[in-house]
Amino acid sequence: MESQTKILIIYTGGTIGMVKDAKTGVLKPFQFENLMKMIPSLAMLNYQIDSHCFDPLIDSSNMDPVYWAGLVDIIEKKYEGYDGFVVLHGSDTMSYTASALSFMLQNLNKPVIFTGSQLPLGMVRSDGRENLVTAIEIAAATEDETPLVPEVCIYFENQLFRGNRTHKFNAENFEAFRSPNYPVLADAGVYIKYNRNAIHKPNFKKLKANKKLDTNIAILKLFPGISEKVVSSILHIPDLKAVIMESYGAGNAPDSDWFVNLIADAIEKGIIVLNLSQCQGGSVMMGKYETSIKLLDIGVVGAYDMTTEAAVAKLMYLLGNSSDKREIEKKLQKPIAGELTITN
Ligand code: ASP
């Protein structure tokens, strides 16, 4: 007899499990047992579904690298005992957490599917029921006894995405996430149609959980009129090791002397400057326009088509595991978990 599929749901918090406080009308989390009661149809899946709840449950605005390490720890400890994992997480920072886990869970050969909802399960029109049920189905899906999606994903409103390619782009629509630079991994309609060519293949190596992260990074978002004192104060943050410079278009930035000199001084001091475009779609191509040639010359590193969310997580992960600037810069420009596409 085939053994029963085992899925672990890790409930971190977020809208999916919230109820309205009768007195204040404010949304607050409720306990997981209630969440299971809301979806009696889960029993029809005939899987063994266990749960692990964060205590306290958190709104994902409070997510941070300590919680990421906690999540990795739970998955590492439970890895052998389960066929797949579903992480219930607030949508606000879901892309950051999914990105972080894609780097921290090396040699992942089982599905880790993040989901949540825009409306609490307790509400009649909640999107949470479908999101949760399908996420569980995807986490359990196999072919030739091998998981179909052995990677960290986000499932939301009928679409499965590679987690480190996503971005939350809508605060109201049920369709809250986009993956502007990588195809959807599966579409869930009457059938769940997997885009097999886009999904990681399992490597059958042993899972290596890496919980070392370094948060000494900053984001410098450019805008017309940004002043020298703003740029300078960011680049002079004590202990700063890396800056994500959110530039324009294909990686362009002002070519005024004060700006270029500040960036060059920071790089000389040992700070990594990662050039990432404010455009959601497309890739950084330094050198395409005159306004980015100088950046290339002074040692700015291009992020290709990475999302800000993936870049934040990747930098924390790389800085946590090495102090060799060159090595980190090299790794930033190569995919570790399918987070970027090399275009040139
Ligand atoms: N504020 C909530 C959170 O991110 C929103 C959600 O769950 O989607 O935790």
Does the pTM of the predicted model rise above 0.85? yes
Q: At what angle do helices 290-298 and 257-268 cross, to 10 degrees?
A: 20
Strand pairing class (112-115; 84-88): parallel
Residue 28 Cβ contacting ligand 1 at under 6 Å: no
- Whether the pLDDT of residue 344 is over 80: the answer is no
- Whether the pLDDT of residue 240 is over 80: the answer is yes
Q: Give the position, in ligand 1's atom list, of the atom nearest the Cα of 176.
A: 8
Domains of the chain, CATH where assigned: 6-209 (3.40.50.1170), 217-332 (3.40.50.40)
Residue 65 Cβ contacting ligand 1 at under 6 Å: no
Residue 338 backbone phi and psi in degrees, to 5: 75, 25
Task: Give the pLDDT confidence of 35-53 residue by residue, as tens digits.
Answer: 667 788 887 888 999 999 9
Q: Give the position, in ligand 1's atom list, of the atom nearest the Cα of 60.
A: 9
- Whether the pLDDT of residue 2 is over 60: the answer is no
Which position among 15, 97, 115, 307 bears the catalytic label? 15
How far is residue 268 CA from its own chain's centroid?
30
| Mean pLDDT confidence for 239-267 | 96
Judge contact between 115 and 166, C-beta under 8 A.
Answer: no
What's at 89, amino acid-wise?
A: H
How far is residue 217 CA from its own chain's centroid?
17
- Percent of the chain whose pLDDT exceeds 70: 97
Ranges 28-32, 38-42, 265-269: which has the least confidence = 28-32
User: Nearest CA to 60 among 9, 18, 110, 122?
Assistant: 18
Best residue among 11, 15, 19 to mutate for probing ligand 1, ranked by most atoms within 8 Å of CB: 15
Tokens 């709104």: give the residue.
59
Residue 131 Cβ contacting ligand 1 at under 6 Å: no
For ligand 1, atom 5, name the residue with the nearest CA: 90
Q: How far apart are CA 320 and CA 245, in angstroms?
A: 20
Under the banding of pLDDT at 50, 70 and 90, the label for residue 268 is very high
CA-derived radius of gyration, the chain: 21
Residue 338 Cβ contacting ligand 1 at under 6 Å: no
For ligand 1, atom 8, name the residue with the nearest CA: 91
Best residue among 91, 115, 174, 309 to mutate for probing ligand 1, ranked by most atoms within 8 Å of CB: 91
Cα-Cα-Cα-Cα dihedral sign, residues 270, 275, 278, 280:
negative
> How remote is the CA of residue 56 from the centroid of ligand 1, in Å?
15
| Mean pLDDT confidence for 192-196 | 97
Q: How far apart are CA 232 and CA 265, in angstroms?
A: 10
Under the banding of pLDDT at 50, 70 and 90, the label for residue 154 is very high
Residue 60 Cβ contacting ligand 1 at under 6 Å: yes
Give the pLDDT of residue 34: 67
> How remote is the CA of residue 14 from the centroid of ligand 1, in Å?
4
Give the pLDDT of residue 40: 81
Is 291 a catalytic site residue?
A: no
Under the banding of pLDDT at 50, 70 and 90, the label for residue 122 is confident
**Residue 10 bridge partners (DSSP):** 52, 87
Task: Give the pLDDT confidence of 278-335 residue by residue, as tens digits.
Answer: 999 999 988 777 778 899 999 999 999 999 999 999 999 999 999 999 999 999 999 9
The better pLDDT of the pair 126, 192 is held by 192
Mean pLDDT score across all residues of the chain: 93
**Would you call 255 exposed, middle or buried from its count of C-beta atoms within 10 A (0-12, 13-18, 19+)?**
middle
> How remote is the CA of residue 207 from the centroid of ligand 1, in Å?
29
Residue 163 Cβ contacting ligand 1 at under 6 Å: no
